Amino acid sequence: MRGFIGRRPQLLWLLVPYVLYLVAVPFVNRVRPLVFGVPFLFVWMLGATLLTPVAVWLTRRADRR
């Protein structure tokens, strides 16, 4: 596995959605503070959803080279 990531480190971008959705959620699972009138967890999940295609795009862009 180390050799695979060593040859293609751009694949680490694909860990970003995993970390945002699964690892960080227990730490941000709060109703307060409110951001623009909605609970922080909702804003976090929306941000993670919007960042997922960016992470995939960065991986694809770097992998083509």
Question: pLDDT tens digits, residue range 5-46?
Answer: 666 777 888 888 888 888 888 888 877 888 899 988 888 899
CA dihedral 25, 28, 32, 35 (to 10 degrees): -90
Q: How many residues does the chain have?
A: 65
Using a cut of 0.85, tell me whether the model's pTM lies above it: no
**Cα–Cα distance, 57 to 65 (Å, whole number):** 13
